[in-house]
Structure 1
Amino acid sequence: MSARALDITRLGGQGDGIAETPEGQIFVPFTLPGDRITAAVDKGRGTLISLIEPSPDRVTPPCPHFGADSDEAGCGGCAMQHVADAAYRDWKRNLVVAALEGRGIMVEVGPLVACAPGARRRVVFAVRRTDKGSILGFNRASSHQIVPIDTCVVASERINQALPVLRRLATAVAVGKEAFRLSVLDTLSGFDLAVDAPFKLSEADRLRISASVRKETGVTRLSFNGEILIEIQPPQLVFGDVAVNPPPGGFVQASEAAETLMGELVTTHLKKSKRVLDLFSGSGTFALRLAQQSHVHAVESDGPSLAALDKAARRSSGLKPVSVEKRDLLRRPLMTAELKTYQGLVFDPPRAGAEVQVQDIARSTITRIAAVSCNPVTLARDLEILVKGGYKITSITPIDQFLWSSHIEVVALLERSKR
């Protein structure tokens, strides 16, 4: 490893600064275009040592845990807090532009819609038991080291205020020395905590952990590897106007503000569709909103999420009919013949996208489609299939619910071209 002076000329897709050298590109975290730096370089990766001349777009990070200059050498939860807002927004929007252009899709991408700091209602912490107690925080980038935190500028105020409670409960759970994940969902009825761990609990552990939860305020449920250990009352979210009790560890959009915007985009686009399909529906983020105006058929592979959607629809008045189907769309997609009775469709697949399913959608007669994705690269691939099948993209909206990270949500709206 050698130390050398570098000029950073652009940002990479993960937020690292890139220096162009005769030996090739060098990627350096916590840098940005316009920085002249000294870095320790090893095999195309650099570690920032010092700033010789800072970029005019460099700003002071709002979080004490961020970056190479922090006492903890960066918690790894954020990558871009050192970048001025305008430059950051351009970079993030361009992640979507570049993914689309890479597939030959030349359409106007809308301005980035940014979520405010403190908007995250869902946070996943890393926890490890040590001889001095448990550490609760985030993994350093490209490392298994857990950096303890006492504040998080992207998490909700309630989650920040509850960090001492979360730390105590994480300590109660940490019976093994292996690291584990603690997912925290801030719901209307309290915190829904889901532990994903590589170790097992004894019956005595279960009783002790449940007793620990009862001693704390604000926690509504704690589950361990999908098993509910204690539920004081069901966690509750509202999708549109419909109350939903999500299952332990079930998928939920990270930001309520981002979810609301996505819901508005999807429901407005599909407003004239009498019958609508919601593919990869989860617990009903879109289905329950759409049911206020259309008959909805929701398809999802996760049984507990689908059951939560079905229960919410059945106990809510004023909705159009909602039907549900448990089906793995990645292995058994809906065929073109099964799509013929629907006029509208929304799909929100995992990061890998929905390539096989989209091939059948592209051959369908569905008039309007809303495509939602957290991965611009796989979204661009799926959109290319739909465009070749006769669909026209009417809008692309990038939504920054994963503030200061390299992740971004996108809503693409399409209409079938008249034949």
Structure 2
Amino acid sequence: MTTTTTITSLGQRAEGVAEIDGVRVFVPLALPGEVVEIEAEGDRGTLLSVLEPSPNRIAPFCPHFGQCGGCQTQHMDRPTYEAFKTALVQTPLRFANIDTEITQFIDAGGAGRRRATLHARKEGAGYMRLRSHQVHDIDHCPILVPALARAPEITRAIHEAIGEADVSFTATITGLDVGVRTEKARASAKRLEPLVGRFRLARLALNGELILQAQPPVAGMGKARVELPMGSFLQATDAAQNLLADYVAEALKGAKTVADLFCGVGPFALRLAEQAKVYAVDSDKAGILALDKARRHTSGLKQLTAQYRDLFREPLTRYELADYDAVVLDPPRAGAEAQVKELAASKVKTVAMIACDARTFARDAAILIAGGYTLADLRAVDQFVHSTHIEIASTFRR
């Protein structure tokens, strides 16, 4: 059904929201206050034209915007964009009955994203189209770091070698770390080997198995250099990693003993160990081994112990936590419910929590507050620029 309607608000996916015959219809690329012509089907609307544009609409900087689904917000001016991102954090907090304001909105885009996953399909190499499982072919992506400028070209070369695949890129100090995933049972690793030399890759893997490694992919973390395991977690931008590490170090300043829970490969633990005794824990065995190796090869650190432990099933208890002045938490999207329940019953004075999901953050924050903590600081860290994701940096104090 083609209809003319007015957009009244923005949804959590940056879609404009209109009400048509009592149904909320979500329209990508539309802004509040705009009169638009759309094709409506159920609660999904497709923007056909903007009849009365919002004064907050700006021209996107990427020619692929609107077709490529990689970005959702390039049409928003800065105040609208920041208000949208801020609401992503504050709305779940209000539902959790936490009345607080974001103290700072931080642009952590830096030089661009150092991580990306492109898709190789018959229609080309790029990101999925908006609301589609088809790929939009791109020649470049302006939100990536310059080191990933050839990512579309590499993705096309992988398609020529083995067919359809998903290709994950990480730009590291020593070169590109590339991981290929395909459902083809007989995908030939041999056909991919020449790409390492052709594109000067640091490492190339197929379905989690190493094909060739010219040199270990390395990331800097404070004084340390960490050799990244295949598939390890890394913040999307180098700027965000440094900003978050600075934030955690300042929040926990003065603490003599720190537990770094969900530590990954150690972006916080290795920085904190410059000023405190650190116990670092994660369920990623390869990440723990990489962190421990970096510790052994870095001078000037205080005692740093890295240990494998599943904090979802076996959180540090309130009795174990008695050994620490402060805790840093950086859980995955599922949050850290079991661990924060133990923290709420502990006597730990300061908790710095970094979160990538606002809903689970609100749930975990409510548990800490009910246990006697005050949410002393809350910041929105925008490393996933022009997307509908936001990172959260927070400090809780007794």
Identify whether the pair has TM-score above 0.5, normalized to the shorter chain.
Answer: yes
Shift of 1:119: 1.3
Residue 46 of structure 1 and its aligned partner are, at CA, apart by 0.5
> Relative to structure 1, is the Cα distance of residues 363 and 155 closer, same or farther in structure 2, using a 3 angstrom cutoff?
same
The residue that corresponds to 1:12 in the other structure is 11
Residue 335 of structure 1: how far off its partner (Å): 1.5
SS of the residue 1:385 aligns to: helix
Against the structure 1 CA distance between its residues 137 and 163, is the aligned structure 2 distance closer, same or farther, given a 3 Å change threshold?
Answer: closer
Q: Paired residue for 2:193?
A: 210
> Is residue 70 of structure 2 the alignment partner of residue 46 of structure 1?
no
Cα shift at 1:85: 1.2
Pair 111,269 (structure 1): closer, same or farther in 2 beyond 3 Å:
closer
Structure 1 letter corresponding to 2:5: L
Matched, 1:93 2:92: no
User: How far apart in 2 are the matches of 1:351 and 1:301?
Assistant: 15
- Answering whether residue 24 of structure 2 is matched by residue 31 of structure 1, we say no
Match of 1:314 among 296, 306, 321: 296
* Aligned residues with identical type, % of pairs: 39
Q: Distance in 2 between matches of 1:379 and 1:173?
A: 41
CA 1:162/1:255 → structure 2, altered by over 3 Å: closer, same or farther? Answer: same
> What do residues 227-270 of structure 1 show as CA deviations (whole Å, max 9, x unaligned)?
11111001111011210011111100000111111101101111
Distance in 2 (alpha carbons) for counterparts of 1:154 and 1:380: 29
Q: Report the Cα distance in structure 1 between the residues aligned to 2:148 and 2:159, rounded to whole angstroms.
A: 14
CA contact (8 A) 2:120 2:158 kept: no
**107, 110, 134: which is aligned to 1:114?**
107
Q: Secondary structure at the match of 1:336?
A: coil
Q: Describe the shift of the 1:127–1:63 C-alpha distance in structure 2 as closer, same or farther (beyond 3 A).
A: same
Letter in 1 for 2:125: L
For 1:338-377, what aligned pairs fall within 5 Å after superposition? 338-377=320-359
Q: Distance in 2 between matches of 1:118 and 1:78?
A: 17
Residues of 2 paired with 1:325 and 1:117: CA distance? Answer: 32
Query: Matched residues in 2 for 1:84 and 1:31: separation?
Result: 13
- Aligned to 1:46, the other structure's residue is in SS state strand
1:235 aligns with one of 195, 207, 217: 217
> Displacement of 1:126 after TM fit?
1.5
| From 172, 179, 195, the counterpart of 1:187 | 172
Query: What secondary structure sits across from 2:248 in the alignment?
Result: helix
CA distance in 2, matches of 1:346, 1:311: 21
- Matching residue of 2:244: 262
The 2-side partners of 1:344 and 1:305 are apart by: 22
- Matches of 1:298 and 1:116 in 2, distance apart? 27
Please give the alpha-carbon distance, in whole angstroms, between the structure 1 residues aligned to 2:337 and 2:105: 26
Which residue of structure 1 aligns with residue 156 of structure 2? 167
Counterpart residue number, 1:250: 232
With normalisation by structure 1, the TM-score equals 0.92
Say if 1:93 and 1:111, in contact at 8 Å, map to a contact too. Answer: no
Corresponding residue for residue 323 of structure 1? 305
Gapped regions of structure 1 (runs ≥ 5): 68-73
Q: Distance in 2 between matches of 1:89 and 1:55?
A: 16
Give the counterpart letter for 1:280 in structure 2. Answer: F
Q: Which residue of 2 aligns with 1:71?
A: none
Structure 2 match to 1:102: 95
Q: 1:54 is matched by which residue type in structure 2?
A: P
Describe the SS at the equivalent of 2:323: coil
Query: CA offsets, 1:322-359, max 9 Å, x none?
Result: 11111111122222112110111111111111111111
- What is the deviation of 1:167? 2.7
| Corresponding residue SS for 1:112 | strand
2:104 is paired with a residue of what secondary structure?
A: coil
Cα RMSD (Å): 1.5
* d(CA) in 2 for partners of 1:373, 1:27: 27
SS at match of 2:91: helix
Runs of 5+ unmatched residues, structure 2? none
Which residue in the other structure is 2:393 paired with? 411
Q: Which amino acid aligns with 1:98?
A: T
Do the aligned residues in 2 keep the contact of 1:194 with 1:224 (CA within 8 Å)? yes
Matched to 1:410, the amino acid is: I
Alpha-carbon deviation of 1:397? 0.7
> Aligned AA for 2:166?
R
Residue of structure 2 in register with 1:70 after alignment: none
Whole-angstrom CA distance in 2 between matches of 1:298 and 1:259: 17
Q: What letter matches 1:192 in structure 2?
A: D
Deviations 1:341-382 (A, max 9, x none): 011111111111111111111111111101111111110110
Cα separation, partners in 2 of 1:333 and 1:106, compared to 1, 3 Å = same
Distance 1:127 1:359 in 2: 43
Question: Which digits, 9 at most, give the CA deviation of each residue in 1:139-172, with x for residues without a partner?
Answer: 1233211111111121112212453234324432
- 3-state DSSP of counterpart to 1:165: helix
Aligned residue identity for 2:22 = E
Match of 2:147 among 134, 158, 176: 158
C-alpha distance in 2 between matches for 1:238 and 1:135: 34
- Residue 59 of structure 2 corresponds to which residue in structure 1? 60
